[in-house]
Amino acid sequence: MSVNIKADYNNKNRRRVSGVSTQIMELSWPEIEALDKNMSIVFVTIAPIEEHGRHMPIGVDLMLGEHWRKLAVESLQKKYPSYNYLNLPFMPLAAGSMRGFPGCFYLSPKFLKRNIKALLRSIVSWGFKNVVIIASHGDPFHLIAIEKACDYINHRFDVIAISPMGAMFSSDELGTDLGQSGRVDAMIKEYPNDFHAGWIETSMMLDINKAIVKDYTVCEDVCVTGKEMIFPKKYCAKTAGKGHLGFPRLADHALGKDLNRSSSNYIVNVVERIIKGQSVEDYRHHFLYSTPFFRMLV
């Protein structure tokens, strides 16, 4: 989709363009310049390519983030049609810790943070004031590195850069109601610790594109506790030769639809708060953000 800009570039009082929803890569720089920055939200999905078990492809996290963003923008467009929604291409940049499998690409948390700062600084220099990062990858190092980059940019410039997924993944600890269906809540209660490529992610992928999900019903359960998740060596040893942490065999399409919908609704809620000028403080940080361990390493 291209923007129809009727503005005269020599006229400083030209009307700014709004009501556009597009991939930013399809715009020219004058079109970007003409957008009303007070009425614009920029989205970017930042997640790894990473092994996701024998039954799913390495792009799962990026596909999930892009799907949630797409659903969120569709709903925002209906509610706030006069806003611009600009989507940057997804960036396969991430901190992560699955070892012993081909298909993973990770950066150190500090290097990731530096890169995200540079990206945000550029977006802000284009004139944009609201940037939403969809960091669709549960590793706290990944989430906190991006959150710190956002905090740095917000502190330096008068903008809102936010990466709300860390707070979403911490909904239990932060006491946030994600509005999930009763069935999802019951499954989480019965089969928690479904950390990676388990029933949660597999269900969501069945909803997004079941053609690229292989037979998940034959995957053995890999049980890992929250405590063990602090030690990559421990959980990588448990999942050696498999690649998932949790219970893929319990995945189903309807659960995935519910999970995808609640994730995109969460993003809609955060953006709505930005549009209405309400505080987004509760949505900025993973629950481990303030612990000294992460302060030191990220």
Identity of the residue, 51 or 258, whose beta carbon is nearer to Zn ion in the bound complex: 51
CB of 251 to Zn ion, least distance (A): 13
Q: Which stretch binds Zn ion (CB under 5 A): 58-66, 175-183, 186-194, 253-261?
A: 58-66
What is d(CA 198, CA 201) in angstroms, rounded to the nearest whole number? Answer: 6
Any idea of the CA torsion for 39, 170, 237, 244, to the nearest 10 degrees?
-60
SS3 (DSSP) at 81: coil
What is d(CA 260, CA 74) in angstroms, rounded to the nearest whole number? Answer: 14
SS3 (DSSP) at 235: helix
CB of 138 to Zn ion, least distance (A): 7
CB of 90 to Zn ion, least distance (A): 14
Q: How many residues sit close enough to Zn ion to count as binding (CB under 5 A)?
A: 2
Identity of the residue, 61 or 194, whose beta carbon is nearer to Zn ion in the bound complex: 61
Identity of the residue, 80 or 90, whose beta carbon is nearer to Zn ion in the bound complex: 90
> CB within 8 A of 278, min separation 6: which ones?
none
What is d(CA 70, CA 211) in angstroms, rounded to the nearest whole number? Answer: 20
Among 61, 147, 194, 258, binds Zn ion (CB under 5 A): 61
Please count the helices (runs of H) and the strands (runs of E) in the chain: 11, 5
CB of 65 to Zn ion, least distance (A): 10
CB of 137 to Zn ion, least distance (A): 6
Identity of the residue, 37 or 244, whose beta carbon is nearer to Zn ion in the bound complex: 244
Q: Interface residues with Zn ion (CB under 5 A)? A: 60-61
